[in-house]
Every structure is written in C-alpha cells, then in structure tokens.
Amino acid sequence: MIIGDPYQIAIQVEQIDILCSPSGMFNFIINDIFIPGKGVTIDLYMVISSLKESLEAGLKKIDGDIGDIPIEEIDLSEGEFKNLISLDNEGVLYDYGCDFLLGFDGNEERLIYTVDYAKSYAETRYPKGTVEKLIRKLPLAESLTIDKTNGVIITKIN
C-alpha cells in the first residue's frame, strides 16, 4: 500500500509475513526513488513505531528552525542534532544505509537523508506539515493484515 502522494512524498508499506512481528517492505518514495529500496523482512512494528515516536518526541524537544543554512554547513556527525529531529531513533532503516532528519525553515520542512550510511546527505523541501502528516497517517503495524491468495499478497488495514 502507498500512503501519501507518490508524486511528492509517500511511504510504501507491504506486509509480507509475520516473523516475530509484522514484517515486510517499507520504503519512503522521494523524487521517484524508493528508499531504502531493499529488504523484504523489515520489522514493520519497529520502523513504524520508531518513526511515530521519534517525530512526537522531536516536535516536543526542538526549539527552533535550522533556517536556510546549506546542508553542507550543518553538522550531521553522530549524536544529538541541534534543531533537527532524528526520525528513526531505533535505527531500523540504518541497517539498510538510511537515516532521516527533519528540520524547519519558516513555512518549509527540510527532510535531510542519507542512503549510504551517512557518507553523504541529500535534502528535499516540502510545505510545513507534509512529512509530519505523512508519518501520522501510517497505520500501526498491528492493524496490518495480509491476504495471500494464489501467489498474490495484498496488505490490508483492519
């Protein structure tokens, strides 16, 4: 299933199996690219919970915008980020080389991300509230069900 606007930013969630918890594919769709674009046994409970909890905690803690500082001038070394919200505190997607940070510049959100284990970063800007609404729309993993019929797997929400 796709949540959000795949022409702007979206998330793909597909439950494939139940291992210890619901497991499957999880991808951000940013600029026509699936990120991380790999992994069929991602722990959906962990990644969805981490995104939701990280966002909530970060919104309460953040005390200002990062403004229009160029991405190259932002200290993205490990640790606490000033005025940036780390969206995957559990590091589930980092196992696939990805990390996502959310910052603000007035009426814009700055989604800063890596796909190569923090060797380099990219950025996409959205109207303020876009990424927040997208993460809030994610269904809880325990509400996902799978229908496997004739070799076709369909993810549904209870």
* Token pair recorded at residue 37: 């674009």
Write out pLDDT tens, residues 29-72. Answer: 999 999 999 999 999 999 999 999 999 999 999 988 999 999 99
Q: Of 17, 97, 110, which is closest to residue 62 (Cα–Cα)?
A: 110
Tell me the domain boundaries of the chain.
Answer: 2-157
* Token pair recorded at residue 158: 């209870």
Write out pLDDT tens, residues 127-155. Answer: 999 999 999 999 988 899 889 999 899 99
**From residue 68, how far is each of 34, 72, 74, 122, 130 by CA, in Å?**
26, 11, 10, 14, 18
Query: What was the pLDDT predicted at 88?
Result: 86
Chain-centroid distance of CA 70 in Å reads 22
Distance from C-alpha of 76 to C-alpha of 110, rounded to nearest angstrom: 14
User: CB–CB of 98/112 below 8 Å?
Assistant: no
Q: What length is written for the chain?
A: 158
Query: What was the pLDDT predicted at 106?
Result: 95
